[in-house]
Structure 1
Amino acid sequence: MTSRNWVYLFFTTLIIGAVSTIFVGFAVEWSKYSVFFTTFNIVEILSIAIWFIGVGFIFSLISQAGYFAYLTVHRFGLGMFKSLWGPVQIVLTVFVLFDFIYLRYTTFATEGDALLPYVIPAVLILVYGLIVAYYKVKQTNQTAFIPTLFFISAITIIEWVPALRANERDWLLLMIFPLLICNTWQLFILYKLNQKSKK
């Protein structure tokens, strides 16, 4: 990839992280901030939006760090495991999803809590990963399915750890959507940028 395309990837992902966090932030905490919209308090709205932009930049940087770390690991995995790297990624994805459910339940659930609320987020992330992987295959080829599923499912959950530790609903929602959006953007735009760099 040329340096120009890398700069484009960096800044577009940064902007996407900031903008998505603004929308998600106001949506998640609408009950708290709706009064500023009904009273047309522009100063408060802008100050909150600027705070969300800063948080969105952080989420975007976490997403980009996770993506480039995965690309490095992917290269090592291909060299070390060769044709077995695909099955290894499937096993790791299952392991991360299981731990995501099990560790959260054993850490935060109180006596009598149902398991289902801890399973649903994992299932939703997995379904989203399958959808993204399907479209990634259409963009490239069938070999992209497992790496895409692994990145969207397993790596996103690992990137989500700061909010998972806090286990506060607003922070969980505020972080997961920008992460998924940034990760998806990087997956699809990197291929196009690489094609452009080759030309």
Structure 2
Amino acid sequence: MNLKNWLFLFWTTLVVGAIGSLVVGLLLQWTNTMELNGTADLLVNVGILLGVGIMVSVYSQMGFFAYMMINYMGTGVFSRTTWQYIQLILAALALLELLFFRTFVGREGKGTSDLVLGILLLLIACVVAYFKSKMTNRSAWIPTLFFMIAVTIVETVGVLKIGVDQATAWIVAPLIACNAYQILILHRVLKPRTQTA
């Protein structure tokens, strides 16, 4: 990946995060009947929502590049098949942590909220993995599933500790959007461009 490709990925992911945070934040505020006093309040509110989305997208990008390094090392140490099994097991463990262990073992989670988040994350991960494998090849299914489940759950640990459903939705929705965007666009960013004479 050259600097031009990285900058394209960086800026477009910032836009995805900002738009995702703005949309989810406004929906949450609309359902919460928040009152804004004038245009200045509205502009400040929009600015805060966009700023949080940008910060979430940067956090998502750190997780994405960390995943790429782990994947690179994993494929260097293990055979391709073994590394795929390891990713599948780690994704399942991360999902179990979110769905059950936080609530029943650690007594940290809120059972219903964690269950809904886990099921939604699994469904979104399967959809993203399906499209990624259609756009590239079948071997992309498990790495995409691992990234969308395990890495996203690791990235959401901080907001899950807050224990407020609205805050979780406000942070997790743009985070999932950024993660899905990055994994789905990666092959296009890395694809060598054909040179025309």
User: Shared fold by TM > 0.5?
Assistant: yes
Q: Say yes or no: does 1:55 pair with 2:47.
A: no
Tell me what 2:99 maps to.
101
Q: Say yes or no: does 1:174 pair with 2:170.
A: yes
Q: CA deviation at 1:34?
A: 4.8
Q: 1:198 to 1:104 in 2, by over 3 A?
A: farther
Q: CA RMSD in A?
A: 1.9
Task: Choose which of 172, 189, 194 in structure 2 pairs with 1:193.
Answer: 189
Gaps of 5+ in 1: none
Aligned length: 192
Cα deviation per residue 1:123-161 (whole Å; 9 max; x = unaligned)? 211111011100000100001000000101111111111
Distance between the aligned counterparts of 1:197 and 1:104, measured in 2?
46
Tell me what 1:65 maps to.
62
Gaps of 5+ in 2: none
Equivalent pairs: percent with the same residue? 32
Contact preservation (8 Å) 2:21, 2:170: yes
Distance between the aligned counterparts of 1:116 and 1:166, measured in 2?
15
- Taking structure 1 as the reference length, the TM-score comes to 0.89
Q: Say yes or no: does 1:27 pair with 2:27.
A: yes
- Taking structure 2 as the reference length, the TM-score comes to 0.90
Q: CA deviation at 1:103?
A: 3.8
Q: Say yes or no: does 1:184 pair with 2:192.
A: no
Contact preservation (8 Å) 1:26, 1:33: no
Paired amino acid for 1:107: R
Paired amino acid for 2:20: S
Cα deviation per residue 1:149-186 (whole Å; 9 max; x = unaligned)? 01011111111111111111111000111011101111
* Matches for 1:126-141 after TM superposition, within 5 Å: 126-141=122-137
